[in-house]
């Protein structure tokens, strides 16, 4: 067996014409594809020498940028922009950038690369766990989750490992760090009775076809929402899955699936095809599940996630993730005799081993049943389970209508099993809508906090209205000064220059220049 070359040293092979060819990656293009250069030689030794010179020239071109004593933040940015970013998807990029520029660089960025020690990383992880959260502290506490801490570690370790390969470090200080334990999310599936109630409630709210499709195919959320009518052949019932939808910074985007195995064709049950045929006559869009507010766009993943929780709550079902609908499909398929290989292909897994690993508890029960059948076939006595499962009965569940709250009382939603969110969004005197939130562990506590918030915002709104009476902008103001004046008039409590600049439609420098003068005009005696 040929000896594997060390990473970052290129590859070498002998061509059919007898010459030796060396190849090295010199960078990556905008699509993440590697850019390579090659060298040719008559002998292996000559080829190795040429390849070494090629690698040296590539390294020397960036020698000014990277050096052992450079700041860890500079190296991390260089590693991400040149080695990591070109290879990962936009959604993954956003995740990486949040870790790198939001947590790692602010904390460890100034430490020289060759002086970064394991204790620095270990203390950093401890700070993240204790007080690392930058937003939504009221909802989730001040510390980051175990998964986020482990993600920051994985990023640091990968960047430092590349530094070792580049000869900047002798060893990786991230190796051996003590991390929070890895806890997998418990798989939740809906029972047959819950499924009945869920679909009845979904039909009452206009989401029956969407959730029925997912429960019959096990599609990922992005794959489901990216479906177009051209992907479905009503004659054969074949559904082609070749794209997915996802959100990046609030914008919906389409891309090919993550792996080649995810590009697949599924045969829908005839009953589902008929439901979709009738549903097609009511949909005037190229998308199977179009957005109700955006033209020529699929429904957004966030809307589907929120709607799922509402339907589950009203149907009296346990709280699950959207991905658990995929688990529900797989569980029902296995329990009804589908082989693992077929299920793996339907789910878009790379191999059946992935499916077996995820659904070990189900396949284990199936193997036990098979073993019992073989034992009986051999004439051995097997103690049978006399307890018979209760037959599934048609439910008499009646869909629950949405509770309409009285105007001016805000709204309350359940974020997860231990947190409620209250929101009040009144129209401000300038015609814009202002939203503020409160959070609590129980619905009753959230109602009480929301009531106080409403009183405070109403009082603030009235104070602005009273202040506005009789106030007119001086004629001497320029156009930009008038824009700032209008914003401050309606937002007297705002003092941040950047916020004012964004709201007024001017730059921050203009706000800083005129802020004091204009504020004295709006609020005399300030």
pLDDT digits (tens, 9 = 90+) for 217-262: 999 999 999 999 999 999 999 999 999 998 877 788 888 887 888 9
Query: For residue 331, what are its two tokens?
Result: 């569980």
> 3-class secondary structure for 203-235?
HHCCCHHHHHHHHHHCCCHHHHHCCEHHHEECC
How far is residue 157's CA from residue 163's CA, in Å, rounded to a whole number? 10
Q: Tens of pLDDT along 71-115?
A: 999 999 999 988 898 888 888 888 999 999 999 999 999 999 999
- Of 441, 435, 475, nearest to 457 by C-alpha is 435
Contact predicate 506/483, CB 8 Å: yes
What percentage of the chain has pLDDT greater than the value 70? 85
How far is residue 302's CA from residue 245's CA, in Å, rounded to a whole number?
Answer: 11
User: DSSP alpha helices (H): ranges in 316-359?
Assistant: 323-335, 340-347, 352-358
CA distances from 217 to 121, 268, 349 (A): 44, 8, 13
Confidence of residue 378 (pLDDT cuts 50, 70, 90): low
pLDDT bucket at 37, cuts 50 / 70 / 90: confident
Give just the sign of the alpha carbon dihedral 188, 189, 194, 198: positive
Element (H, E) at 86: none
Quote the CA–CA distance of 422 and 443 in Å, as a whole number: 9
Of 189 and 5, which is predicted with more confidence?
189
- Window from 96-105, 192-201, 263-272, 458-467 with minimum mean pLDDT: 458-467
3-state class (DSSP) for residue 435: coil
- Model pLDDT, residue 174: 96
- Return left, alpha or beta for 6; rule: phi > 0 is left, psi -120 to 50 is alpha, else beta: beta
Residue 472 region by backbone torsions, left for phi larger than 0, else alpha for psi between -120 and 50, else beta = beta
Q: Give the integer Cα–Cα distance in Å for 323 and 321.
A: 5
Give residue 7's pLDDT: 56
- Which of 81, 83, 131, 84 lies closest to 103 in space, CA to CA? 131
pLDDT recorded at residue 324 = 94
| Beta-strand runs (E) in 259-322 | 264-267
Alpha-carbon distance of 249 to 98, in angstroms, equals 12
Collapsing DSSP to helix, strand or coil, 26 comes out as: strand
CA 255 to chain centre: 15
Q: How far apart are CA 17 and CA 12, in angstroms?
A: 15
Q: Cα Rg for the chain, rounded, in angstroms?
A: 30
Residue 25 pLDDT > 60: yes
| Cβ neighbours of 484 (radius 10 Å) | 26
Measured distance between the N- and C-terminal CA atoms of the chain, rounded to whole angstroms: 82
Fold of the domain built from segment(s) 72-165:
DNA polymerase; domain 1 (1.10.150)
173 in Cβ contact with 160 (< 8 Å) = yes
For residues 242 and 256, is the Cβ–Cβ distance under 8 A? yes
422 SS3 class: strand
pLDDT at position 62: 56
CATH of 192-374, one of 3.40.1480.10, 3.30.2420.10, 1.10.443.10, 1.10.3860.10: 1.10.443.10
Q: 281 vs 214, 215, 228, 237, 332, CA distance in Å?
A: 20, 22, 14, 17, 30
Per-residue pLDDT, 255 = 87
Which tokens go with 5? 């070359």
Span 272-313, pLDDT tens digits? 999 999 999 999 899 999 988 788 899 999 889 989 998 998
For all residues of the chain together, what is the average pLDDT? 85
Q: Which of 25, 39, 38, 57 has the alpha carbon at shortest distance from 162?
A: 25
Structure tokens at 138: 């009221």
């Amino acid at each position: 067996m040929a000896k594997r070359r060390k990473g970052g040293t290129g590859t070498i092979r002998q061509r059919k014409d007898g010459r030796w060819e060396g190849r090295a990656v010199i960078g990556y293009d905008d699509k993440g594809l590697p850019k390579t250069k090659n060298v040719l030689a008559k002998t292996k030794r000559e080829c190795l020498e040429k390849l070494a010179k090629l690698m040296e020239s590539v390294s020397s071109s960036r020698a000014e940028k990277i050096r052992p004593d450079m700041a860890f933040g500079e190296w991390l940015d260089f590693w991400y922009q040149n080695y990591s970013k070109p290879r990962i998807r936009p959604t993954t990029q956003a995740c990486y950038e949040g870790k790198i520029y939001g947590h790692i660089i602010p904390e460890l960025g100034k430490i020289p690369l060759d002086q970064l020690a394991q204790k620095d990383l270990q203390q950093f992880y401890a700070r993240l766990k204790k007080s690392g959260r930058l937003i939504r502290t009221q909802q989730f506490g001040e510390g980051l989750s175990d998964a986020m801490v482990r993600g920051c570690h994985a990023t640091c370790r990968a960047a430092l490992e590349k530094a070792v390969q580049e000869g900047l470090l002798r060893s990786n200080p991230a190796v051996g760090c003590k991390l929070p334990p890895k806890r997998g999310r418990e798989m939740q599936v809906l029972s047959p009775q819950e499924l009945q109630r869920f679909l009845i409630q979904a039909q009452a709210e206009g989401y029956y076809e969407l959730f029925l499709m997912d429960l019959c195919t096990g599609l990922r959320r992005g794959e489901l929402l990216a479906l177009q009518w051209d992907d479905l052949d009503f004659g054969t019932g074949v559904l082609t899955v070749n794209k997915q939808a996802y959100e990046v910074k609030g914008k919906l985007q389409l891309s090919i699936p993550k792996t080649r195995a995810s590009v697949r064709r599924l045969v829908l049950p005839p009953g589902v095809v008929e439901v979709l045929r009738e549903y097609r006559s009511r949909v005037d869009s190229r998308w199977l599940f179009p957005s109700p507010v955006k033209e020529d766009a699929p429904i957004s993943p966030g809307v589907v996630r929120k709607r799922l929780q509402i339907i589950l709550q009203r149907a009296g079902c346990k709280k699950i993730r959207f991905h658990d609908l995929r688990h529900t499909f797989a569980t029902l398929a296995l329990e009804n005799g589908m082989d693992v290989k077929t299920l793996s292909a339907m789910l878009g897994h790379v191999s059946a081993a992935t499916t077996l690993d995820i659904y070990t508890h189900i396949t284990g029960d199936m193997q036990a049943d098979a073993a019992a059948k073989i034992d009986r076939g051999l004439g051995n006595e097997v103690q049978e389970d006399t307890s018979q499962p209760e037959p599934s009965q048609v439910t008499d569940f009646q869909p629950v209508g949405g509770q309409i709250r009285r105007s001016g009382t805000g709204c309350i939603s359940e974020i997860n099993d231990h947190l409620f969110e209250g929101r009040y969004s009144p129209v401000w005197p300038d015609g814009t809508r202002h939203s503020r939130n409160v959070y609590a562990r129980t619905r009753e506590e959230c109602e009480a906090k929301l009531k106080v918030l409403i009183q405070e915002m109403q009082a603030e709104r009235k104070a602005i209205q009273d202040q506005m009476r009789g106030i007119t902008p001086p004629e001497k103001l320029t156009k930009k000064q008038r824009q700032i004046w209008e914003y401050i008039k309606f937002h007297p409590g705002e003092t941040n220059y950047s916020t004012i600049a964004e709201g007024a439609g001017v730059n921050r420098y203009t706000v800083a220049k005129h802020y004091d003068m204009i504020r004295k005009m709006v609020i005399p005696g300030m």
